[in-house]
């Protein structure tokens, strides 16, 4: 059986990304920014390195994401009190509002993604997608 899983996964990811960008389905922020806002919603004041690890993003990517999100007024970046080379990220009031809008948009998006599938089928898909993180660890985890 040839399911072309890599092809289907890549095409699906690109189409989903284009769809969300075109409709700002995540509250007017990018999917990456929404991910950062969700992380900071639970870990406000986290080190940039902690956010990068949680989002599975390298240091340069995290730096760019933090720059863009800070310019948008959604986060503030401050030097760590014990290590001036490290930065901590804090949600702003606008960041909290954008996070709430993103949650609503994400609920709508998840409903669209799961439409036409049973709960049991979605559980299998979710388990399969989660297994990719174990089967293919981040480069620095290998």
Q: Is 36 a domain residue?
A: yes
CA 127 to chain CA centroid, Å, is 18
Dist CA 93 CA 49 (whole Å): 23
- Provide the residue range defining the domain that includes 97: 5-137
Q: Is 100 a domain residue?
A: yes
pLDDT tens digits for range 58-94: 999 999 999 999 999 999 999 999 998 899 999 999 9
Q: Is 120 a domain residue?
A: yes
Total number of domains constituting the chain: 1
Per-residue pLDDT at 142 exceeds 60: no
Whole-number average pLDDT of the chain: 90
Q: What is the pTM of this model?
A: 0.79
Q: Is 142 a domain residue?
A: no
Domain with 71 in it: what CATH number? 1.10.10.10
């Amino acid at each position: 059986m040839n399911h072309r899983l890599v092809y289907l996964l890549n095409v699906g990811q690109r189409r989903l990304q284009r769809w969300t960008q075109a409709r700002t389905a995540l509250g007017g922020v990018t999917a990456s920014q929404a991910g950062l806002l969700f992380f900071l919603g639970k870990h406000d004041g986290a080190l940039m390195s902690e956010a990068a690890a949680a989002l599975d993003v390298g240091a340069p990517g995290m730096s760019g994401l933090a720059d863009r999100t800070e310019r948008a007024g959604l986060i503030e970046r401050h030097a760590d009190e014990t290590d001036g080379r490290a930065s901590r990220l804090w949600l702003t009031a606008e960041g909290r509002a954008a996070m709430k809008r993103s949650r609503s948009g994400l609920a709508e998006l998840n409903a669209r993604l799961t439409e036409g599938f049973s709960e049991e089928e979605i559980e299998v898909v979710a388990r399969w997608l989660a297994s990719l993180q174990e089967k293919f660890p981040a480069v620095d985890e290998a």
